[in-house]
Amino acid sequence: MTQNAIGWAIIHVYHYTWSNGLVAVYVYGMEYAFGAHDYSISGVFEVEPRTCLGFIYICSISLRHTNMSPSEFRAFIETIASEYNGDTYHLTSKNCKNFTDDISHRLNCKGIPGWVNRLAKLGGLCSCLLPDSLEATTVKQLPEYYAYGMCHKIEI
């Protein structure tokens, strides 16, 4: 489905190999996701579809066709990227699922299904029970991903 879906906004859902998941939006041949780092620059990155290292691809969820051209979509994603700095990532309230849901709503799509972000929402409701370490930026994009060209930061 992905190879023939040019112009479609599609959500790709992954399992993380040890404790978390990743949700990315696929449009015009690339996936875009949001991850954490310690700097006040964008945490949005792009990868080839279904290839983000350390994550296991599970499924695709079609949203709708975008009316934006590839260059318009690129400008759109760069604008959004400026709102998602890596040092603002939060495991339960500003994560890759929130990022993907935000993009889908801005593209006038239906948003991500509730089950995709259910664990983070549950964690947010029980935040007083979670350890303080979860309040800090916890999910990192490892430097070796960039060194091997697997993930590319969105430059703004």
Q: Which of 12, 52, 96, 109 is catalytic?
A: 96
To the question of pTM greater than 0.85 for the whole model, the response is no
Of the pLDDT bands very low, low, confident and very high (cuts 50, 70, 90), residue 119 is low
Handedness of CA 17, 50, 143, 116 (dihedral sign): negative
Does the domain at 8-153 match CATH 3.90.1720.30? Answer given as yes
Q: What's the pLDDT tens digit per position in 85-107?
A: 999 998 778 888 899 999 989 98
Percent of the chain residues past pLDDT 90, beyond the cut: 32
Q: Would you state the pLDDT for residue 9?
A: 86
Mean pLDDT (the chain) is 76
Q: What's the pLDDT tens digit per position in 6-55?
A: 678 888 888 754 456 788 999 999 999 999 989 999 999 999 999 888 88
More confident call, 48 vs 123: 48
Res 112 pLDDT > 60 = yes
96 is a catalytic site residue: yes
For 62-66, 68-72, 75-79, which range has the lowest pLDDT when averaged over its residues? 62-66
Q: Which of 15, 105, 126, 152 is catalytic?
A: 15
Instruction: Report the alpha-carbon angle 94-95-97, nearest 5.
Output: 115
Tokens representing 15 are 């399992």
126 is a catalytic site residue: no
Residue-wise DSSP of 39-84? SSSB-EEEESTT--TTEEEEEEEEEEE--S-HHHHHHHHHHHHTT-
Residue extents of the structural domains in the chain: 8-153
